[in-house]
Amino acid sequence: MALSVRALAAQRDLGLRVLAGALSDEPITWVHVSELVDPTPFLSGGELLLTTGLFVRDEVDLPAYVDRLCATRIRGLGFGVGLGFEQVPAELAAAADRTGLPLLEVPRGTPFIALSRAVSNALAADEYAAVTRTFTAQQELTRAALAADTPGRLIRLLARKVDGWVALVDERGAPLAVGGDSAAAMVPAVAVEVARLREHRGSVGAAFDIDLSGGADTVSLQPVGAGSRRRAYLAVGRPGPLSAADRHLVNAAVMLLTLGFEKDAVAPGTAAAVRSAVLEIALNGHVELARSVAARLGAPLPDDPMVVLIARPTAAAPAPAIADRPAVAGAFAALLDDELVVVAPLNATDSVTADLVGTGMTVGVSGAAHGADLAGAVTRAEQAADAAAERGKQWLTFDAIASSGITQLWNPEQATVFAESLLAPLVEHDRAGRGDLVASLRTWLAHHGQWDPAAAALRVHRHTLRRRIGLVGRLLGRDLDSPTVRSELWLASGMIGRGGR
């Protein structure tokens, strides 16, 4: 688990000596080295700050220095001796003891990098453990979804995993299944938000707070259904925001519920809608989960490397009929927004392409891809199919059009519509006069997610920018740590920034 100052000080090989303050068990979020008299603009709280005291001069107010650090809520201060000072200044130790700030003496023989390495190794171990727990939990959710005829078991399991409450409601806000002690009491408030979401077109989620007598619960509300079909809504709430691992579990649950609804909605013996749901699970980043579900349903996804083909239907070759043909079903075929998406082994590219072209359909081929880049491969295949249609060809590969330049890969009108749809929650927020989220998002992305330069460009405090970007993630229901998501938002915010259509 992540190291606390107490645990770090207990590592004998580091030779640290506790001089003042009260040791806590709160985890250290990072180690930062600074010789500034005021390093707080570069701290966000939770750090262990290291210094050799180069900033200490006769006129420096050390008690004020310590007060500033305490206000930033750092975990502790490490002072390296044997360079500028043979011992920690007594005034600094007294100020730390007065405020309770943990003060550690770092001996000359212990490099600061040793402390950084100890903390970063612990953080990396925590991240690995979180990934392992998330994968195991996803498997449990999958087994619960496939083993039960109703979603109740999945909903109750998800509530336990996120340590909160979960409610699955229909399009009118009526409960279908609940999990967690307080879930039933939350349904009326969830129904109000569902009514608001129904006014928006497309698959739009929401984040909001429910005030309680003992505080507030943060709630994530996501639509359930393939494509633009909304068959239900999943609400997940708990005190405080969901962690990144919890958000992955919620997304996996949405995909599994979508699969269940689509499976129930089709006639016996018809698997097209089920395969579409499996494809959407994969395109939302849960490739291994999609592989597991697809294998259980007898429609496995090909192993890496693979290729994605997009086939545009015609009157003579309707996509549903083509999707069930044996030659294509030997790979993996599913309908996505009235297009046929075929995921095939790379060595079957020529045969599958010839089979699709033989039906009279216009085909785009992505080129070699791996499961982790499945969404990108679908995009490349769509662009190749667009180019083939524009050039009057039956099929084209993405590689054949890539040399034409990126501006040839999208229609400006379509790009603007995409941007307006994607950023609609932010635009609506800004129009209500509650902030400038679109501009903040674009500036933050332009500075590669670096808080201080972006905040300086916007002329706001970095904590203000952090709150804005956090709100952006909640409103959009997107993972802003994903490079793919950041690229989409960068392009979309540029379209909005130029005034739209």
Residue with the bigger pLDDT between 1 and 368: it is 368
Cα angle 70, 72, 73; round to 5:
65
Rounded (to 5) percent helix, strand, coil in the chain = 50, 20, 30
Report which of 8, 99, 97 is spatially closest to residue 50, judged by C-alpha positions.
8
Which long-range CB contacts under 8 A does 129-138 form with residues at least 24 apart? 130/243, 130/244, 130/245, 131/245, 133/245, 134/245, 134/248, 134/249, 135/288, 137/161, 137/249, 138/248, 138/249, 138/252, 138/286, 138/288, 138/289
Residues 312, 338 contacting (CB under 8 angstroms): no
pLDDT tens digit sequence for 431-480: 877 668 888 898 888 888 888 888 888 888 888 888 899 888 888 888 88
Helix (H), strand (E) at residue 209: strand 206-212
- Give the bridge partners for 78, in sequence order: 50, 104
DSSP state of 371: G
pLDDT tens digit sequence for 11-48: 999 999 999 988 888 999 999 999 999 999 999 899 99
The reported pTM is 0.42
- pLDDT given for residue 403 in this prediction: 54
Residues 30, 119 contacting (CB under 8 angstroms): yes
d(CA 184, CA 14): 52
For residues 63-96, one letter each, b for 16 or more C-beta atoms within 10 angstroms of the residue's C-beta and e for the rest, the string is eebbebbbebebbbbbbbbeeebeebeeebbebb
- pLDDT given for residue 64 in this prediction: 95
Place of tokens 């190749």: 384
198-212, 266-280, 339-353: lowest mean pLDDT where?
A: 266-280
Residues 137, 59 contacting (CB under 8 angstroms): no
Cα angle 442, 443, 448; round to 5:
95
Residues 140, 146 contacting (CB under 8 angstroms): no
Half-sphere exposure of 180 (CA within 13 A, CB side): 23
- For residue 433 the two structure tokens come to 């006069």
Nearby residues of 58 by Cβ (< 8 Å), 6 or more positions away: none
- pLDDT given for residue 498 in this prediction: 45
Half-sphere exposure of 358 (CA within 13 A, CB side): 10
d(CA 486, CA 251): 18
In this prediction, residue 297 has a pLDDT band, given cuts at 50, 70 and 90, of low
Average pLDDT value for the chain: 81
DSSP state of 12: G
d(CA 284, CA 258): 12
State which of 208-217, 314-323, 436-445 shows the largest mean pLDDT.
436-445
- pLDDT given for residue 267 in this prediction: 47
Q: What is the CA radius of gyration of the chain?
A: 27
d(CA 165, CA 135): 21
Half-sphere exposure of 329 (CA within 13 A, CB side): 12
pLDDT tens digit sequence for 175-193: 888 888 888 888 898 888 8
**Residue 68, pLDDT above cutoff 90:** yes
Report which of 49, 45, 119, 112 is spatially closest to residue 81, judged by C-alpha positions.
112
pLDDT tens digit sequence for 114-134: 999 999 988 888 777 777 776
